Structure 1
Amino acid sequence: MPRRLRHLRRFLSRWQASAGYLNRTLALETWFPHLPLGLAVGLLGVVHLLPPLIRALGLRFYSQTLTTLTLNLVNVGLAGLPQIGVGLFLVSMSVGLLLRSRLAWVTTVLALGAGIVLLLLQPGDHLHDWLLPYSVVLLIGLLLSFRHFDRSSLATATLFAFTCLTVLVGYGVVGSYLLGDLFQPPIRTLEQALYFTIETLSTVGYGDIVAQAPQARLFLVSLISAGMVAVASIFGAILVPLISRQMEALFHRRKPMNRKDHYIIVGASALAYNTFQELCRRGEKITFILRREPEGTPYSDLDVVVGDASDIEVLKQAGGEQAKAILALTDDDSENAFIVLAAKELGKVRTIAAVNDARNLKRLRRVKPNLVIAPPVLGGELLAMALSGETIDSKRLMQLLMGSI
């Protein structure tokens, strides 16, 4: 049994090493899984748009005059509009998925569920045979990868709101224009369709254009319902976070820290945060340098400077000239090296750099930081010693941790 356990541990160790190498080689964190999922959702939206448009245009079998084309568009009526709405919504939400927006992820999951219901209610054809399982697999993929969609920035929310509003207005204009003969007076131009859509969404209701047929009334029901959902989403996505942020700044405003005799930690890695916690327990002052403004993270209430730490001006802003040490603890070894080089231009401040890949250890030493720390090298050595039954040498472990071997 112990031998099998050792084999299992060795297999898991090799698998983790292979997965880590593949992750670093392909830079998976920068594009997976949000890029393929976003493209897949966009493709699904386009596919949802095709059947009702093809039925409306009648391009499968014959060319049409303008009169025949208009008649076919009207005959599509409400039957194709819900599917068109789902398709437009999925295409717009694919942009939010590419930005790893949590809000876009939630709305896409809901839209996919609605799309699956529509497909189940429609008669099957050759397109239906693969579209339904494709939607189900895509929904499962989104549910399994929800941890990767963790961004909730104001810029993403604004883009989401603008996209929703654009799609909604487009849906209203196209729908009212295609069903124009079912209104009194009839809607003949796109300008009239735009006017009627804005009038409906704003709930003004002048009464100058009235729906006469059941199809037109049902279309207005869908437009008004979608408008209420869009307004609620826009309010929740933009106004609520903005108001909450202002209230928090008003009631929890902190005085800026005196950036002198402090430590500067660069990066948002696990090593950076653990180092911060241990230094805080010892009563030290800490300033973080992060590439983007922290939102909903453990760093949101700390002294943070936003910028590129390899820029000497950013280091000066963080008080680098009066700091006890500058710790380059990002997940990118090349970035850590550039941070050390920039810190050396400030004077005699101590520099500490972390190495994430043992192959970069010698390269990082060339920039001559005061201390190099290599936790992955130490972890690999400890695992190898434990698996082979070797005696753990504390002196050797310290050399590995400090990158001295």
Structure 2
Amino acid sequence: MIHVIGLAVGVSIKAMAFIAVFDGFVLSIFGFLMKEKTKTAWWIMVSGSFITVLILAFGAGRHYHITILGMAFSFFVIFMLIRRRREYVYPARILGRPEVAIALVTIAFTILYGIGGSLLFGDQFRPPITDLGNAFYYTGEVITTLGFGDILPVTMDAKIFTISLAFLGVAIFFSSITALILPSVERRLGGLVNRMEKRELKTLKDYVLVCGFSNLLQEYLSKMKATGTVVVVIERDEAKARSLRDEGYIVFDHNADDIDLLSSFDFSSAREIIIGSDDDAYNLIIAAAMKSVISDENRQKVRVLVVDPKDMVKFRIMGFSLINVSSVLSDSLYAGRNAPG
């Protein structure tokens, strides 16, 4: 939005140059995010590149050859993005969440409320706010609580508007910004914690490793933890991983078939290894990865949950101990039926 505002108020060439630097910084960040191949990143980059062309066109000065070079590069970026548009098919991890959409709407509303109110009560400020640029400047000044004092409300209406905008800025605007930034920070910190924990995996002794979690394992793992056994879980579902971490388990929110991660473990020090998701197809992939990294002497420690009895034959070639969940349940029900009393 800063680009459009700058064009609307006819800012100077120097100001346009500064905006161009800011624009380049923002595009660099989104360029880094392009590796996730999301639709949102694609649209932002295309739109940002077009805006860059406009900024360069309106800010052209004596160094027109640099402007032409920048515009040519922007058009090249647009051309490449359009040419490879079919690669960007994944949904946005952050922008796709409803709370983030609400946060974006809140931020937009707060900015528009500030700009609109500043122009509406423009003659009640000293000096008066008569253009879009000063309205945007005053809105940012109030929302960020900087309070330079170069523009002052002099009537009660203007003062009430300023206070309401300040409340919006502190109570809503920054909380919305937090909702946008916090998930990314949490993922980065989570990755850092995982890297730190991976370095300590070689020091684990007599631990239980769970590759893929299902509720079928909940009671068993609780008993293991109650006896003081260290339980390490690799779980790709973020909600499950977060819940397990809160319960005191060492959790890696990662795919359990990641060979690099599995190679970080000292399996000779493990008490047992359980491949235990409720998806046989996923368990089969995990078992194949495990077979490629575990030694023959440690292979007997691996136990695999098999949900569908028809899949037993697929797992036998791995050489691991298999637990037929359906058979265990059937035996338990049958034993209960024939129990005395």
With the length of structure 2 as denominator, give the TM-score of the two structures. 0.50
1:353 aligns with 2:304: yes
Give the Å deviation of 1:375: 3.5
Rounded Cα–Cα distance in structure 1 between residues aligned with 2:306 and 2:314: 8
For residues 208-250 of structure 1, what are the alpha-carbon distances to aligned partners after superposition, in whole Å with 9 as ceiling and x for unaligned?
43446665444333212212313774798789x99xx9xxx9x
- Does the C-alpha gap of structure 1 residues 378 and 323 become closer, same or farther in structure 2, counting only changes over 3 Å? closer
Q: Which residue of 1 aligns with 2:45?
A: none
Rounded Cα–Cα distance in structure 2 between residues aligned with 1:370 and 1:303: 24
Rounded Cα–Cα distance in structure 1 between residues aligned with 2:258 and 2:135: 53
Q: Conserved in 1, the CA contact under 8 Å of 2:234 and 2:253? A: yes
Q: Conserved in 2, the CA contact under 8 Å of 1:265 and 1:327? A: yes
- Does the C-alpha gap of structure 1 residues 262 and 209 become closer, same or farther in structure 2, counting only changes over 3 Å? closer
Q: Which residue of the other structure, out of 128, 136, 139, is the alignment partner of 1:194? A: 136
User: Amino acid of the residue matched to residue 232 of structure 2?
Assistant: T
1:338 aligns with 2:338: no
Give the Å deviation of 1:194: 1.5
User: Amino acid of the residue matched to residue 317 of structure 1?
Assistant: S
1:269 aligns with 2:208: no
Q: Which residue of 2 aligns with 1:327?
A: 274
Q: What SS does the corresponding residue of 2:210 show, helix, strand or coil?
A: strand
Q: Conserved in 2, the CA contact under 8 Å of 1:333 and 1:364? A: no
Q: Which residue of 2 aligns with 1:368?
A: 318
Rounded Cα–Cα distance in structure 2 between residues aligned with 1:369 and 1:268: 21
Rounded Cα–Cα distance in structure 2 between residues aligned with 1:347 and 1:202: 59
For residues 38-72 of structure 1, what are the alpha-carbon distances to aligned partners after superposition, in whole Å with 9 as ceiling and x for unaligned?
xxxxxxxxxxxxxxxxxxxxxxxxxxxxxxxxxxx
Q: Conserved in 1, the CA contact under 8 Å of 2:106 and 2:173? A: no
Give the Å deviation of 1:342: 0.8
TM-align CA RMSD: 4.5
Rounded Cα–Cα distance in structure 1 between residues aligned with 2:278 and 2:120: 54
Q: What SS does the corresponding residue of 2:139 show, helix, strand or coil?
A: helix
Q: Which residue of 2 aligns with 1:17?
A: none
For residues 110-164 of structure 1, what are the alpha-carbon distances to aligned partners after superposition, in whole Å with 9 as ceiling and x for unaligned?
xxxxxxxxxxxxxxxxxxxxxxxxxxxxxxxxxxxxxxxxxxxxxx8xx987875
Rounded Cα–Cα distance in structure 2 between residues aligned with 1:272 and 1:355: 13
Give the Å deviation of 1:195: 0.8
Rounded Cα–Cα distance in structure 1 between residues aligned with 2:209 and 2:146: 56
Q: Conserved in 2, the CA contact under 8 Å of 1:96 and 1:160? A: no
Q: Which residue of 1 aligns with 2:163?
A: 221
Where do 1:114-153 residues align within 5 Å? Answer: none
1:290 aligns with 2:241: no
Rounded Cα–Cα distance in structure 1 between residues aligned with 2:219 and 2:95: 31
Give the Å deviation of 1:352: 1.7
Rounded Cα–Cα distance in structure 2 between residues aligned with 1:360 and 1:183: 78
Q: What SS does the corresponding residue of 1:327 show, helix, strand or coil?
A: strand
Give the Å deviation of 1:332: 2.5
Rounded Cα–Cα distance in structure 1 between residues aligned with 2:313 and 2:159: 70
Gaps of 5+ in 1: 1-94, 105-155, 394-405
Rounded Cα–Cα distance in structure 2 between residues aligned with 1:380 and 1:215: 76
Give the Å deviation of 1:354: 1.9
Q: Which residue of 2 aligns with 1:314?
A: 261
Gaps of 5+ in 2: 1-92
- Does the C-alpha gap of structure 1 residues 320 and 189 become closer, same or farther in structure 2, counting only changes over 3 Å? farther
Q: Conserved in 2, the CA contact under 8 Å of 1:353 and 1:369? A: no
Q: What SS does the corresponding residue of 1:337 show, helix, strand or coil?
A: helix
Report the identity percentage: 26
Q: What SS does the corresponding residue of 2:263 show, helix, strand or coil?
A: helix
Q: What SS does the corresponding residue of 2:145 show, helix, strand or coil?
A: coil
Q: What SS does the corresponding residue of 1:331 show, helix, strand or coil?
A: coil
Give the Å deviation of 1:322: 4.7
With the length of structure 1 as denominator, give the TM-score of the two structures. 0.44
